[in-house]
Amino acid sequence: MRPAHRLPRRAAALAALAMLLAGPAPPALAQTPPAENLVDQLAGSDTAPEIDVAALRQQATERGKSKATAAPVNRPPLVPELLKLPQVSLEVLFDPDSSIIRPGSYGMLGRIADALTQPGLLPYKFLIVGHTESGGRRDHNLIVSQRRADAVRDALVTTFKLSPKRLQSLGLGEEQLRDAAKPASPANRRIQIVNMGKMPVDAPAPPPQTKPPAKSKGRHTR
């Protein structure tokens, strides 16, 4: 019979081995506010400025290809008008250098979808903006950020059934850092949801035109 005092040591060794095999714990996700708070943060006005997303995407592409003449801390924001609009920032987790959303981030996207379908936000359209930290090639960071913004939009449309007419996507790479003093900080790697104003109201279709009844030709008698 084995001594009883060895059993706790064996249990401790087995527990340590299990922890070793399990590997490091995944990073904790940022806490997303409840849908009610998100509605308050994203509430917009009826007079939001018109922003040409296609033109901004082209502008970001041209800037990403250019050679940096100033340190990130001295670069002006690429789209300063976005900073004035109601928005929230999310730490959506992706696979490294990829646009594949990690499963743990879908709960956060679900809360965003719940907020965007609340009556207070239902009339509005939104821009999903992807950002990266500074590091490596600027043009590559821009491509990655655009693909990640597209992936979040696709998830909200396909998984959470939001109308694609309400959502646009834009990648800004490292061109609009949250913490420009620390350009390589992970805080700069984020997804923004920006309120872009109310959806245009479709004009009612005109009623179908009806032809007047044809006049009947009576018989004339002489």
Give the sign of the dihedral formed by CA 80, CA 60, CA 102, CA 107.
positive
Give the containing element (helix H, strand E) for 170.
strand 167-173
Tokens of 43: 């509430």
Residue 182 has a pLDDT of 93
Q: Which domains does the chain have, with CATH numbers?
A: 52-198 (3.30.1330.60)
Residue partners of 119: CB distance under 8 A and separation at least 6:
none
Mean pLDDT by 10 residues, the chain (222 residues): 44 39 39 74 80 90 78 81 92 95 96 96 96 92 96 98 97 92 93 93 64 59 50
The pLDDT score that the predictor gives to residue 3 is 46
What was the pLDDT predicted at 177? 92
Residue with tokens 């006005």: 45
Q: What is the rounded CA–CA span in Å between residue 195 and residue 124?
A: 7
Residue 133: name the closest of 67, 179, 170 by CA.
179
How is residue 159 written in tokens?
């998984």
DSSP output for 191-216? EEEEEEEEPPPPPPPPPPP-PPPPPP
Question: Is residue 38 within 8 Å of residue 192, measured between CB atoms?
Answer: no
Predicted confidence at residue 51, as pLDDT, reads 86
Write down the pLDDT at residue 118: 95
Q: Can you give the pTM of this predicted structure?
A: 0.75
- Per-residue confidence (pLDDT) for residue 46, from 0 to 100: 72
Contact status, residue 142 vs residue 60, Cβ threshold 8 Å: yes
